[in-house]
Amino acid sequence: MARHIMTLTCDDRPGIVAAVSSALLQVSANIIENQQYSDEDTNLFFMRTVFDCNAADVERVRQAIATSPAVVSAALSVRPADERCRTIILVSKFDHCLLDLLHRWKSGDLPIDIVGVVSNHEDCRGLVEYYGLPFTVIPVTPDTKAAAEGQLLEMVAAHDVGLVVLARYMQILSDGLCRELAGRAINIHHSFLPGFKGAKPYHQAHDRGVKLIGASAHYVTADLDEGPIIEQDVVRVTHAETPERLVAIGRDVERRVLSRAVRDHAESRVFLAGRRTIVF
């Protein structure tokens, strides 16, 4: 018996759970975890089930679910639970989020395989190489942007990458790249969205005099800072913090939020429902 994770998104209609249940019953699978949610806004149904069964029976389970009349317009995935999400990390000069991801990855905290770290600057090479990972510099200028994005996409395709993490990557992705990476590129924005979109959010936060600052991890979309939010958190501040001090305080919450979002994605816990996410 091997552990598997099934994820299913489909139109919400009666009989889906029954279809999944009977598909698992027929191969005597043992359900370990199960979450489901019916979203009224999109009329979509979401399900994540962890189960044990003979590896030989997985295809039968998949077929039974996919061909059930109750399961319509489905996105269905069944994968071994120990399969790790192949990941590329994009970074510029700030290394706090990168370091956090590397440390958690090495500690076994994150079920990802880091294929490589890509940057438009040399700054983080030492850190990445200390962790024994390939570091690729792809400079980005207005003239080379298209080529740079093409090079990144080649890496994504070559390594069958399931996740691209923008760990304080200070370049705006083109609309085309956003579309290519839809649902598998996570950005960390250094504010509690939807407050303080755009540039210099900590300065905006200081000007507005908020008493908490935050960070938001979201899927990247062409609509800047408007992508579906996966995870957010905040930390208390006072009037006495300068914008510079807010930046320093914010580093803690940025890295915490980004790492949680990466883990959720890598464990197949995050589903897209329009501009929102379902996180099991």
Which are the catalytic amino acids? 225
In angstroms, give the least distance from the CB of 189 to a second copy: 12
Q: Hunting for tokens 């018996």 — which residue is that? A: 1
Rounded Cα distance between 171 and 150, Å, is 15
Contacts for 36 with CB less than 8 Å, ≥ 6 apart = 17, 45, 46, 47, 48
Q: List residues near a second copy by CB under 8 A.
A: 14-15, 17-18, 21-22, 24-25, 28, 30-41, 96, 99, 103, 107-109, 126-127, 130, 192-196, 207-212, 214, 228-234, 238-240, 242, 248, 251-252, 256, 273, 275-279
Full 3-state SS string of 151-166:
HHHHHHHHCCCCEEEE
Q: In angstroms, how far is CA 244 from the centroid of its own chain? A: 28
Cβ-based nearer residue to a second copy, 135 or 192:
192
Task: Give Cβ neighbours of residue 54 (< 8 Å, ≥ 6 apart).
Answer: 1, 2, 27
The least distance separating a second copy from the CB of residue 107, rounded to whole angstroms, comes to 7
Residue closer to a second copy, measured from CB, 177 or 253: 253
Least distance (Å) between residue 14 CB and a second copy: 6
Indicate the residue among 76 and 234 with the shorter CB distance to a second copy.
234
Measured between alpha carbons, how far is 154 from 158 in angstroms, rounded to an integer? Answer: 6
- Say if residue 201 is preceded by a cis peptide, omega within 30 of 0: no
| Minimum gap (Å) between residue 190 Cβ and a second copy | 15
Closer to a second copy by CB, 178 or 269: give it: 269
